[in-house]
Amino acid sequence: MIMSLAIALMVSFGSQDTDASKLNGTWMLVRGEEEGKPLPQDAIQGIKMIIDGDKYTVIVGSEKMASTLHFDATTTPKSIDAKATAGPYKDKTLLGIYRIQGDEFTVCFAAPGKERPKDFTTKSGTGTLVHIWKRQSS
């Protein structure tokens, strides 16, 4: 579960508008949901994401994974594409949506090859996940 979470997070971020620059910095995963169930707090403890422009790195324990991001703030909800540059999803793009509220960044991603989610919910059997990140530093 931790590895699939990390891979999904890794594939969770591009840079088209000012939202990309708003997200630069270090983020900690504070809540999440996958397949309609909340992620256990002990499973997400210490998961960190560093965003720098259109690149981001997710750190889970001693493992680091990287991806590139593409944001589109012209859609409703705002959309995000994440392309893995390494790992099991290498060269695959995950389609998602996002929102920024204060120092929280929420993303919802579909599994590779699935349609972009329409809202910030997950359901059993879909592979969709939601992650809520809290800013640690910019």
Element (H, E) at 49: strand 48-52
Query: What DSSP element (H or E) covers 119?
Result: none
Bridge partners, residue 54, by sequence: none
Range of the domain at 120: 2-137
pLDDT, one tens digit per residue, over 30-54 is: 999 998 999 999 999 999 999 998 8
Number of H helices, E strands in the chain: 3, 9
Read off the amino acid at residue 118: K
- Residue 63 belongs to a domain with what CATH number? 2.40.128
> Which of 90, 100, 11 has its CA nearest to residue 57?
11
Domains contained in the chain, number: 1
Prediction pTM value: 0.83
Average pLDDT over residues 87-93: 78
